[in-house]
Structure 1
Amino acid sequence: MNTLPAEKIQVYFVPGLAASPKIFEYIELPSNQFEVHHLDWFLPPSGADLVDYARIMAERVTHEAPVLIGVSFGGMLIQEMARFLKPRKLIIISSIKCRDEMPRRLWVARYTRLHRLLPTGAIQNLETLTRFAFGDAVRKRLKLYERYLGMRDKEYLDWALDAIVQWDRVTPEPGLIHIHGDQDAVFPISHLGSCLRVKGGTHTMIIHRYKWFNERLPAIILEEAGSI
């Protein structure tokens, strides 16, 4: 008796702030089980808040019951996208689940608006900064930014920074799976609630610890986080 092949699970990845989907270039899921899609950033419509943006991004998801995986700011976004979709599973990486997990500097920015003074236009000149960088560590970091930054538009960056600082989610999305590195300097793990800890993982672990994800993501998607 012939049996129909199992339908593949549709997995949508959303990168972090201004990053391109290249950050997922080393992530590999078994092709017989999963079909992978990458969502890219776009310029926000005038006056759009994060929920408005999430609605438009959700329209780019063309499958029912998708798995949504978001990194950093992308993790915040997919939680808002869940309002407009019926995801099979939400997985955030190097991100936060609600405003209570924000580090103190984001709360300061929220009330002082200091983030609006950041020279976001300078990000368009990374190539120049790389040429004049002093020291190998700085030069390597700039090269990393140059490779993985996909959205350098000042309008987007100003909007995104404001969206992060003003994020007002109070309650984490039910069933959310949170994967976080214990060496994350952007969102320190000491500020977080329950999460699946990655020992030695930093904020960029989706790139530097891709083997960890390749070994574990399939089971995390298919099973409950507590069984991993």
Structure 2
Amino acid sequence: MQNLYCISGLGADERVFQYLDLSFARPVFISWINPLPGEALEAYASRLKEKFIGEEDPMIIGLSFGGMLATEIAKQLPKANVIIISSAKTKKELPFYWKILRHIPVYKVLTYSLIKQTLAVQEYFLGAGSELSRQYEKTVVDKANMHFYKWAIGAIVSWKNKIIPSNVFHVHGSNDRLLPMRFIKPNFVINNGGHLMIIENAAEVSAVLKQIFAVKYKPGGLNLMF
């Protein structure tokens, strides 16, 4: 059974993948490492690859922020087969209002208390409609690493990638409020899926993953259309 490397979203960990049926592979959950001062997203992705991924043609799933990192890894490993979920492939797919933070970096004064106080707002943008996803989001907030949060937000809004690797397959939700569809050009759309569709629409997302990875593909050949 082949390894499936899973990179979670900002502030999340391997628990976010527990709702998916990944029985078709052997999940390997990538842990966060401490970012270096001023480290760019692509450099951080390279260090993740060097530490956790020893194969030239791995299967990788990246969620949200993890999808951006997975995109950078895909550029470094052209034989990899990468699926990103609820994410963005280039800086052009980031909403323009995110980029304001690059010039007015208010995220640098972000505090744990503020994150706790804005939980309802976060739930709205993440599409946490069920009790299951709300409880998950609360758990993520309770364990928030402020140093990592601030670095990651800065790395995202400063991301310069313009390349869409041919070995990346993008699955996105039609109702994603954090990364709205009007900015995104995915390969496959989950109808009524929000940013947390990995929880809310887990069965449908699992079916898509199984179908994609079940294809007898060549290394780096996941550039498919359903």
Equivalent pair of 2:74/2:81 in contact (CA under 8 Å): no
Measure how far apart 1:51 and its partner are: 2.1
Rg comparison, structure with higher value: 1
Alignment correspondent of 1:20? 13
Provide the rounded CA distance (Å) in 1 between the counterparts of 2:184 and 2:190: 13
1:1-228 to 2 correspondence within 5 Å?
8-31=1-24, 34-59=25-50, 60-117=52-109, 119-122=110-113, 143-148=135-140, 152-223=144-215, 224=222, 226=224, 228=226
Cα 1:149–1:89 shift into 2, 3 Å: farther
Q: CA RMSD in A?
A: 2.7
Equivalent pair of 1:18/1:150 in contact (CA under 8 Å): no
Deviates more, 1:178-187 or 1:207-216: 207-216
Provide the rounded CA distance (Å) in 2 between the counterparts of 1:220 and 1:150: 35
Amino acid at match of 1:57: L
Measure how far apart 1:116 and its partner are: 2.6
Provide the rounded CA distance (Å) in 2 between the counterparts of 1:67 and 1:107: 31
Provide the rounded CA distance (Å) in 1 between the counterparts of 2:143 and 2:73: 20
Measure how far apart 1:156 and its partner are: 0.8
Equivalent pair of 2:190/2:205 in contact (CA under 8 Å): no
Equivalent pair of 1:181/1:202 in contact (CA under 8 Å): yes
Give SS of 1:143's match.
helix
Equivalent pair of 2:187/2:224 in contact (CA under 8 Å): no
Cα 1:39–1:49 shift into 2, 3 Å: same
Instruction: Map Cα deviations across residues 48-78 of structure 1 (whole Å, 9 max, x no partner).
Output: 2212211221021133411111010000011
Aligned residues: 210
Measure how far apart 1:46 and its partner are: 3.0
Equivalent pair of 1:15/1:21 in contact (CA under 8 Å): yes
Cα 1:73–1:120 shift into 2, 3 Å: farther
Instruction: Map Cα deviations across residues 72-116 of structure 1 (whole Å, 9 max, x no partner).
Output: 000001112234434431111000110111112112222222333
Equivalent pair of 2:6/2:27 in contact (CA under 8 Å): yes
Measure how far apart 1:203 and its partner are: 0.1
Give SS of 1:213's match.
helix
State, as a whole percentage, how many aligned pairs show the same letter. 27
Cα 1:53–1:10 shift into 2, 3 Å: same
Measure how far apart 1:215 and its partner are: 1.8
Provide the rounded CA distance (Å) in 2 between the counterparts of 1:72 and 1:186: 10
Give SS of 1:54's match.
helix
TM-score normalized by the length of structure 2 = 0.81
TM-score normalized by the length of structure 1 = 0.80
Give SS of 2:26's match.
strand
Question: Where do 5+ consecutive residues of structure 2 fail to align?
Answer: 121-127, 216-221
Question: Where do 5+ consecutive residues of structure 1 fail to align?
Answer: 1-7, 131-136
